[in-house]
């Protein structure tokens, strides 16, 4: 019979203790996993930026954070990204503030008041600066976005009209035409000029244009590549119509998920916030350039809506926005005040 000496027993015990401590340490250092719901398709530049940001956060946390990305609305459908993140279905969300594409959205973000004021802006970065100031001076706007811990916000590029069988050279060209619009504000504007607004899922737009069941898509230059509309559209008309209110795009975290993080990991997110904020804003300009270049490479004709037509749009937006402001006032919202503040802020950035 083999006899283990007392010294050997202590050696064995020490080894077991070391193994146990290593196992405990390994379990204790298991990364904190966070689910990120992404509205955008994995091919879009927005998704690439979000992916880069997530990996950067993981690296800066020394492996203590793991961000699992669910792109293409695979965890939360597009309009639900904000509300689903607020509820905790996702820990982090990337999409549009409060949803989009349906009536009844908060007019501070999706109404025509902000659109009327920001019409004529040269790009999305300019509009985002207006949104930053709006958060500081208009509490109702700030109150809504306080539902999440915001990490970045951004605005959309100006709208373009994509068509297949005719060129939109004036507002008369859209009369009687069916236009796919993404929200109530766009629908209201094109209806003002005699068009028939239609909402359909983005995935159906390609075939609708190709078959002629829809005449025009009112969208963005990114659609030319990401949704292959540059392959089916033959004409693109650029406009100065804003794609939405200031900073309706967001990257934000559920407050419960945020509050559970230790301070040093919260700091990791804070330290990366400026970088991602800059990237998601400036990429809107790059998306526009890439989209238009892609369309040109496919033989699309690019046209800029003439200034006299833009003046008609500005007049229409102010008229529609004035009515909406009064409707907001009647509902207990600060519509008139909102419009006055927006016009004051945009006067600092947009030369009309």
Asked whether residue 157 carries a pLDDT value surpassing 80, the answer given is yes
Q: By percentage, how much of the chain surpasses pLDDT 70?
A: 90
Phi, psi torsion values for 160, nearest 5 degrees: -125, 155
* Residue 309 DSSP code: H
- Listed in sequence order, the residues at least 6 apart from 29 whose beta carbon sits closer than 8 Å to its beta carbon are 63, 64
Q: At what angle do helices 124-137 and 263-297 cross, to 10 degrees?
A: 150
- Domains in the chain (CATH in brackets) are 31-156+245-290 (3.40.190.170), 160-243+291-349 (3.40.190.170)
Alpha carbon 342 to chain centroid, angstroms: 20
342, with CB counted inside 10 A (0-12, 13-18, 19+), is buried
199-216: pLDDT as tens digits: 888 889 999 999 999 999
3-state secondary structure of 207: helix
> Cα separation of 4 and 8, whole Å?
6
Which whole number is the average pLDDT over 66-75? 93
Q: According to the model, what pLDDT value does residue 194 have?
A: 97
CB distance 267 to 332 below 8 Å: no
pLDDT range class, residue 315, cuts 50, 70, 90: very high
pLDDT range class, residue 98, cuts 50, 70, 90: confident
Asked whether residue 106 carries a pLDDT value surpassing 90, the answer given is no
Residue with tokens 């100065």: 240
266-277: pLDDT as tens digits: 999 999 999 999
> Cα separation of 41 and 44, whole Å?
6
Length of the chain equals 352
224-238: pLDDT as tens digits: 998 899 999 999 999
3-state secondary structure of 162: strand
Per-residue tokens: 318: 């102010």
Helix (H) or strand (E) holding 70: strand 65-70
CB distance 39 to 74 below 8 Å: no
Residue with tokens 């526009």: 288
- What angle is formed at CA 123 by the lines to CA 127 and CA 140, rounded to 5 degrees? 15
> Cα separation of 63 and 31, whole Å?
6
In this predicted model, which residue has the larger pLDDT, 257 or 111? 257
Residue with tokens 């297949």: 164
Distance spanning both ends of the chain, measured CA to CA: 98
């Amino acid at each position: 019979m083999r006899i283990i000496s007392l010294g050997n027993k202590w050696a064995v015990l020490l080894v077991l203790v070391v193994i146990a401590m290593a196992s405990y340490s390994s379990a204790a250092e298991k990364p904190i996993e966070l689910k990120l719901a992404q509205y955008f398709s994995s091919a879009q530049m927005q998704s690439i930026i979000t992916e880069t940001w997530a990996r950067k956060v993981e690296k800066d946390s020394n492996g203590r954070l793991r961000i699992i990305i669910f792109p293409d609305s695979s965890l939360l459908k597009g309009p639900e990204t904000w509300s689903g993140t607020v509820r905790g279905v996702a820990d982090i969300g990337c999409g549009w503030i409060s949803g989009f594409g349906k009536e009844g959205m908060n007019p501070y973000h999706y109404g025509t008041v902000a659109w009327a004021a920001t019409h004529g802006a040269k790009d999305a970065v300019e509009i985002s600066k207006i949104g930053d100031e709006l958060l500081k001076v208009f509490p109702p706007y700030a109150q809504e976005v306080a539902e999440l811990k915001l990490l970045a916000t951004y605005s959309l590029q100006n709208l373009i009209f994509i068509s297949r069988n005719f060129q939109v050279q004036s507002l008369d060209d859209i009369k009687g035409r069916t236009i796919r619009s993404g929200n109530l504000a766009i629908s209201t504007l094109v209806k003002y000029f005699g068009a028939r607004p239609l909402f359909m899922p983005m995935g159906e737009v390609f075939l609708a244009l190709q078959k002629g069941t829809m005449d025009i898509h009112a969208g963005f230059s990114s659609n030319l590549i990401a949704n292959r509309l540059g392959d089916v559209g033959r004409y693109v008309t650029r406009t100065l119509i804003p794609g939405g209110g200031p900073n309706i795009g967001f990257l934000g975290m559920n407050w419960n998920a945020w509050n559970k993080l230790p301070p040093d990991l919260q700091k990791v997110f804070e330290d990366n916030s400026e970088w991602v904020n800059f990237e998601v804003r400036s990429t809107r300009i790059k998306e526009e350039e890439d989209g238009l270049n892609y369309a040109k490479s496919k033989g699309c004709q690019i046209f800029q809506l003439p200034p006299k037509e833009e003046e008609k749009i500005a007049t229409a937006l102010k008229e529609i926005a004035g009515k909406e402001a009064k409707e907001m006032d009647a509902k207990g919202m600060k519509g008139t005040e909102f419009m006055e503040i927006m016009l004051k802020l945009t006067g600092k950035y947009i030369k009309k």
